[in-house]
Amino acid sequence: MTPPAWLHSLSLVYGLLSIASALYVLADILLLGRRQRMWIMEVVWPLTLLYWGPLGLPFYWRIGRRRGERPMWQYAFAGATHCGAGCALGDFIGDWLVFALGFTLFGSDLLGKFLFGFVLAYLFGIAFQYFSVAPMRGLGLWDGIVAAVKIDTLSLLAYQVGMFGWMALRAWMLPGLQPTQWTYWFMMQIAMVLGFWTTFPVNWWLIARGIKERM
């Protein structure tokens, strides 16, 4: 099914604005001295703006630039960006791999994307979490990986609930979209933001319980 012209135009404009937003944040961090307390967040924030687009800029200005103590919702938001960045990166790469390989699961490319996306998102999520928790707790490689798995698993599952739910709905509403189309990625941006909000309360709980570090 060919998406309507207005949706294609909206997707193109918002996609370009999202790329510009991510580049702005990257420049703000690296060139204008807004360095993060943890280096991994200097990767997380640009990735977050890639899928949030310009709507994410107010959150970056208020949270990403802030120093010192914050209200709890901002710690939870930063924690959700951390989880979301690893998931988004894994799903982005997974979708392209499924498309390039023509991979299907039980005859469905959507299920193939679920499989590739979940596995890659989990691996990236653990890696992102490792580079947060290991330095903050002074953990070695193995202990850091174990801690990252414990922290990231529940957060990632919550993220994928929102994301996969929208992906399934999108596949029903607009079947046939491919990663070569701007509309496809606009739909994926919506999916990623919904995943962000389903993992947000989980991150709040994890931080409040002392399971996940405040970032």
Local mean pLDDT, 10-residue blocks, the chain (215 residues)? 87 97 96 85 95 97 87 94 91 93 90 92 90 83 88 92 94 90 96 96 92 80
* Best CA proximity match to 148, nearest among 160, 173, 165, 131: 131
Angle at 197 between CA 47 and CA 185, to 5 degrees: 45
Structure tokens at 167: 């992906």
This prediction's pTM? 0.92
Angle in degrees, 0-180, between the axes of helices 41-52 and 72-101, rounded to the nearest 10:
70
What is the predicted pLDDT for the residue at 1?
Answer: 64
In whole angstroms, what is the distance from residue 173 CA to residue 4 CA? 12
166-189 per-residue burial string, b: 16 or more CB within 10 A, e: under 16: bbeebbeebeebeeebbbbbbbbb
C-alpha pair distances (Å), 30 with each of 23, 80, 122, 151? 10, 22, 28, 28
What is the predicted pLDDT for the residue at 147?
Answer: 87
In contact, 155 and 125? CB cutoff 8 Å: yes
What is the predicted pLDDT for the residue at 28?
Answer: 95
